[in-house]
Amino acid sequence: MNPRMRALLPILLAAGLLTACDHGALNNPYPEHQRGQNIMYSFFNERPKHLDPVQSYFENEIRFTAQIYMPPLQYHYLKRPYQLIPFAAAAMPRVTYYGAGGEIVPAHASPSEVAYTRYEISIRPGIRYQPHPAFAIDARGQYLYTGLPERQLKRYRSLADFERSDTRELVAADYVYQIKRLAHPGLHSPIFGLMKGYIIGLDVYAGELEQLSATAASGTYLDLDRFEISGVRVVDRYRYTIDVRGKYPQFLYWLAMPFFAPVPHEAERFYRQPGMPVNISLDWYPVGTGPYMLSVNDPNRVMVLERNPNFGGEPYPFEGEAGDATAGLLNDAGEEMPFIDKVVYSLEKESIPYWNKFLQGYYDLSDISSDSFDQTVSISSTGEVGLSDELRERGIVLHTSVSSTTIYLGFNMLDPVIGGLGERARKLRQAVSIAVDMEELISIFRNGRGIPAQSPLPPGIFGHRDGEAGINPYVYDWVGGQAKRKPVEVARRLLKEAGYQNGIDERTGKPLTLYLDTTLVGPEAKSRADWFTKQLRKIDVQLVVRATDLNRFQEKLRNGTAQLYVLGWNADYPDPENFMFLLHGPQSRAKGSGENASNYASREFDGLFEQMRNMDNGPERQDIIDRMVAVVQRDAPWAFGFHPADYNLAHGWVHNIKPNTMANNELKYQRVDAAQRTRLRDEWNAPVFWPLLLLAVLALGAMAPAVIAWRRRERGIARQKYLAQRAEPKP
């Protein structure tokens, strides 16, 4: 072979290998066989800890469990305000109110007349579980993989190692079984503490289980059916009832969460048999009846949801709110869901890779990180938010929504300086509320993504008021049709009235110093701390920012020793009770380990809250909420911060996207045009080789003179040697 050809051979081989490996784009992170398939590509940045529906509560967990499990109810995907509709249930639960003597009382009876409420839920017949080895039976009708010897179980490394699987029909008893699991001492359900206060008999049942578990080895099967919950009954194969203490209308919202989804007892028996590897558990391999099932669970790399072959289908909504039809959100009305066959979630810990992969078309959806906000979003002179030209040309669509979250600057009401319901402290808090410019915070630290809060209630929650009626009159004025923060002079005046003229405490003659406890770390923490300090400097108040770790921060809140702090609350369900309880006196963090971190206790507010919490939505409830909001605006236990806005992007090939901050089972509604995606991916990702060739040429060019010089030197030495040898006289 020609020596030059021999030198080129490795390069040709490498090139051949590369092209043999993959016929698509070189930067395609997915296997070539997935090309053109009806798959959605997404990512997650934090591995879920729990996929057991009794435990999963965090967003990164529910985004999976909500697609797999079927609670009785769900939120309507398109309608606003949020509306509950049946999911596994055949109809909305039948709600009956009972008095203390067991007599039925009318629905409009006051909460005090209601001793307990019975929810009767009928589920649709014919719903079947995903294929799972727990249901597999042998020729004798015995469960194939339950009660296996420990030695045999050691062979199994994952659920896929069990060769056979089967299914069975969903029955009402599975829902009751899951409610029993809320009390399981080894499962630590986050809502057990709340639910045992409501579901009749759950506390007694938990005590019985506790005794039972004391004699059982840790992690082994606990027969939950040995005892019954007095307030939870199976009526027949498809019907069950739950008795809830008093009147608690919000209970329906809980029925839309995976906590109340069905779990088959076969699964529990299967997973908890002695000798089963700890990694094969219900917490890792869910068993559901929903539209998707988890087929790959490798949270260090990838998680895959696949269409559940036993899911009976569900029609896409026929109606939505105004504008949905124009937006194309009703184009698939009546079509059977789910539309997507498979969803691949890849782990992405950093924002740069996932953002670039989204731009390359390798992710279908993305949020917008702060780093890429400026190159993504353009804000017009009229304040209208739009996408940059580059993104619009790629067919990317921006979806914005205000989340059901309230971020607030809290004042500890137990603090001797800033706390208490006295006039002096109240005016000080009002002054601080005016001085801390939340509009500026949103602009600087959130790229404008958010709206200033006027009360604890975010938009979309019953009781929230827009416009002039909704503004906080202690912090804002209504000017020119919009809320305008009061000038700093008003804050200074309030401060003077509070006895802190020019930031000097008139009682001690010393400058007023406030303390903000925060867990923020990293480069942004410093700028945030400086920003808060600057805000209070406007009214001559000194602020000391105390950065601490999460444990100490929580300890301070529990002990009531923090003075100012920043916290947020995500809605569990779209009801004002879920926000107002954060200021309910008995929920005090310092006195009762509740969620009221400000330890606010107002007899007036608490009385109104007790009235409002169990009422049905209507003018009367709105009136009470208005009064509650007025009380907290006046007392200012929080400087109402802001409600964050979510900016999400979707490629043009993804259809039926509508932000829904309550529903988590949105996957089944979405559809992708795989052909369009494939075409555009190929167009956007053609490999560019010339820079590599250029680099190689440059490297060779740089080395060439040195090599030439070296060869010349070597030859020179050889010639010198030769000449020296010639010059030597021969003996």
Partner 1 sequence: MTAYLFRRILYVIPILLGVNLITFALFFFVNSPDDMARLALGGKRVTEESIERWKRDKGYDKPHFYNDAAAGTDRFTDTIFFTRSASMFALDFGVADDGRDIAQEIRTRMWPSLAIAVPTFVVGLAFYITFALILAFFRATYVDVSGVIVCVAAMSISSLFYIIGGQYLISKLWHLAPISGFGEGVSALKFLALPVAIGIVSSAGANARWYRTIFIEEINKDYVRTARAKGLSELRVLFRHVLHNAMIPILTGVVVIIPSLFLGSLIMESFFSIPGLGSYTIEAINNQDYGIVRAMVFLGSILYIVGLILTDVAYTLVDPRVRLD
- From the list 252, 145, 232, the residue with the least C-alpha distance to 181 is 232
Whether residue 84 contacts residue 98, with contact meaning beta carbons closer than 8 Å, is answered with no
374 is a contact residue toward partner 1 (CB under 8 A): no
618 is a contact residue toward partner 1 (CB under 8 A): no
Q: Which amino acid is located at 674 in the chain?
A: A
Helices 488-497 + 423-435 axis angle, to 10: 160
Binding mask 538-577 for partner 1 (x = CB under 8 A): -----------xxx--xx----------------x-----
479 is a contact residue toward partner 1 (CB under 8 A): no
Q: How far apart are CA 314 and CA 320, in angstroms?
A: 16
Which is nearer to partner 1, 323 or 691 (by Cβ)?
691
Which is nearer to partner 1, 42 or 430 (by Cβ)?
42
- From the list 435, 564, 431, 542, the residue with the least C-alpha distance to 495 is 431
Cβ 250 to partner 1 shortest distance, Å: 14
192 is a contact residue toward partner 1 (CB under 8 A): yes
Q: How far apart are CA 374 and CA 35, in angstroms?
A: 32
Whether residue 184 contacts residue 175, with contact meaning beta carbons closer than 8 Å, is answered with no
685 is a contact residue toward partner 1 (CB under 8 A): yes
322 is a contact residue toward partner 1 (CB under 8 A): no
- From the list 568, 575, 643, 638, the residue with the least C-alpha distance to 609 is 575
Using CB under 8 A, which of the segments 129-137, 146-154, 344-352, 485-493 binds partner 1? 344-352
Give kind and range of the element (H or E) at residue 393. Answer: helix 389-393
Which is nearer to partner 1, 278 or 322 (by Cβ)?
278
Which is nearer to partner 1, 173 or 194 (by Cβ)?
194
Q: How far apart are CA 514 and CA 418, in angstroms?
A: 8
Among 81, 190, 499, 659, binds partner 1 (CB under 8 A): 190
Cβ 561 to partner 1 shortest distance, Å: 16
Place of tokens 């992405």: 348
332 is a contact residue toward partner 1 (CB under 8 A): no
Whether residue 669 contacts residue 337, with contact meaning beta carbons closer than 8 Å, is answered with yes
Cβ 42 to partner 1 shortest distance, Å: 13
Q: Which long-range contacts (CB under 8 A, 24 or more apart) does 567-571 make?
A: 567/407, 567/408, 567/410, 567/597, 568/405, 568/406, 568/407, 568/408, 568/641, 569/405, 569/406, 569/595, 570/59, 570/403, 570/404, 570/405, 571/404, 571/405, 571/458, 571/461, 571/661, 571/662
Which is nearer to partner 1, 502 or 593 (by Cβ)?
593
212 is a contact residue toward partner 1 (CB under 8 A): no
Among 83, 112, 211, 356, binds partner 1 (CB under 8 A): 356
Q: How far apart are CA 693 and CA 685, in angstroms?
A: 19
C-alpha angle with apex 373: 372 to 375, nearest 5 degrees? Answer: 70
Cβ 596 to partner 1 shortest distance, Å: 13
Q: Map the footprint of partner 1 across residues 238-277, applying CB under 8 A.
A: 277
Which is nearer to partner 1, 706 or 727 (by Cβ)?
706
Among 8, 12, 15, 22, binds partner 1 (CB under 8 A): 22
Residues lying near partner 1 in the complex (CB under 8 A) are found at: 21-22, 25-29, 31, 47, 49-50, 57-58, 185-186, 188, 190-194, 218, 277-279, 281, 283-284, 298, 300-301, 346-350, 352-354, 356-357, 359-360, 549-551, 554-555, 572, 593, 595, 685-689, 691-692, 702-703, 705-706, 709-710, 714, 721
